[in-house]
Amino acid sequence: MITWPIKITENKYSRWYEQFMFNCQKRSTIEGYTEKHHIIPRSLGGTEDKENLVLLTAKEHYIAHALLWKMSMEPKFHNKMSMALHLMVNGSGTKKQHRNYRISARLYQSIRLAKVEAMKSYIAEHGAVWQGRKHKPESIQKIIDANARTKDLRSAKLSGENNGMFGKKHTKDTLLKMSKSNSAAWTDERKQQYSDTVKKLWADLEFKKQMSEIKKNSAGWQNRDWKNIGRKAADARMAKGWKPTEEFKKKISETRRAKMASGEIVPWNKGTKGVSKGNPKIWEITCPEGYIYVVTDGIAKFAEEKGVSASFLKSIGKNKRKRPTDWKVKLIKK
C-alpha cells in the first residue's frame, strides 16, 4: 500500500498502479536496458530513498506514467503528471531515449492535448515562464558555448565530402523552382509584417544601443580596414557612372563637421607639424570620390599624400583654375 503525501482518490488506475509497483519491487533483476522510476514522483512529494525507487524496462516505465496520468488527483498535480507523460513519449531533448514501445495516434493526441492544457493552467497561475526574469551571466556563457559546439559539430558533419552537395551544382530548372517558391512565400503581407516587426524592435533605444555595442565589439568590426573599404566602394560606384550629388556632399560635410566639433572625429593632421609657417590657413577639400577633408595645418602635406600638387589645389581654392576638375577646394580661414 503506497502512502501518498497528497490526496489521491482511489479508482481502478490507482489500484493497478499500486499492484504494478508491488510486483516490480518483488521481482529479481532485469536483463538489458532499464530506467529508474520514482514510485511517488518527486513532483508529488516523492524522495530519493531506496524504498521509493524501482528499476523498470522502457515499456514498463511508460505504463507507470500512463497510470499516474489516469489517476484522480488535484488539477495542479495532474498537470505535472501530464507533463511527465509527454516527456516520456517525446523525450527530454537532451539524451537519446532507448524506447522500445509504440503508442496509438489517439492516445498520442490525448497526451498532447493534456500537455497543452497543463501549460495553459501553469501560465494562468504563475505567468509566463521567463516573464520578468533574465539569464545569469554564467548561464548566458553556457548557452553561447553550447551553441558554438553545436555549430562546430554541424560544420564538421556538413563540410567537404560529407556535404550532400559536394562537387555538385543545382540545375537551372532547380534554381528556377527555388526562386519561384521563395517569391511565392514572400508575399506583400508577409513583407509588411516583417517590416513592422523590425521597425518596432529597432524603435527601442535600449535594443538599438545593445546591438550597436555587440557589433562594434566584434572582431570582424574592429579588424576591418574601413578607409580602404570606403574607397573601394566609392571607386566601384564611380566606375558605374555614379557621382555624388550636391545634396549628398552637403550632408557628408555637415555630418563630419558635427563629429569634429564634438570630438568624435579628430582631423587627420591634428598634432602634427606641417610645412606651412606662421598662422596656417584652413581648407575644406572635396576629393573626386566625394570625401571631404578639413586641412588645418597646411595644404602641402595633404597634397603630397594624395598625389597631387599643392599649387593645383590652391589654384582651385582661389578660383584661378580655368580647366574643369572634380576636385573642390574652399578656403575657410585665411
Greatest C-alpha distance within the chain = 109
| 38 three-class SS | strand
Domain with CATH 1.10.10.10 in the chain: 243-333
Please count the other Cβ atoms lying within 10 Å of the Cβ belonging to residue 331: 15
Dihedral (CA of 314, 319, 323, 325) sign = positive
Q: Measure Cα distances from 230 to 13, 213, 220, 240, 312 in Å.
A: 74, 21, 16, 16, 25
Question: What pLDDT, on a 0 to 100 scale, did the predictor assign at position 87?
Answer: 79
| 47 three-class SS | coil
Find cell 593632421 and name the residue. Answer: 269
| 93 three-class SS | coil
Question: What pLDDT, on a 0 to 100 scale, did the predictor assign at position 99?
Answer: 58
Please count the other Cβ atoms lying within 10 Å of the Cβ belonging to residue 320: 9
Confidence (pTM): 0.38
Terminal Cα distance for the chain, rounded: 103
Question: What pLDDT, on a 0 to 100 scale, did the predictor assign at position 279?
Answer: 61
Contact 24, 60 (CB under 8 A): yes
Residue by residue, pLDDT tens for the chain (334 residues) are 788 998 999 899 999 999 999 999 888 878 877 888 999 999 888 888 888 899 988 788 888 999 998 999 998 888 889 888 887 777 655 454 555 566 676 776 777 788 788 878 877 777 766 666 788 888 888 988 888 888 888 888 888 888 888 888 999 999 999 999 998 888 999 999 999 999 999 998 888 888 888 888 887 778 777 777 877 887 787 778 888 888 988 888 898 888 888 877 777 666 655 545 556 678 888 888 888 888 876 788 888 888 888 888 888 887 777 777 888 888 877 6
Find cell 514572400 and name the residue. Answer: 186
Fold of 243-333: Arc Repressor Mutant, subunit A (1.10.10)
How far, in Å, CA of 102 to CA of 122, rounded? 29
Question: What pLDDT, on a 0 to 100 scale, did the predictor assign at position 249?
Answer: 86
Find cell 499516474 and name the residue. Answer: 68
Q: What kind and span of H or E run contains 82? A: helix 75-90
Q: What are phi and psi of 51, to 5 degrees?
A: -65, -20
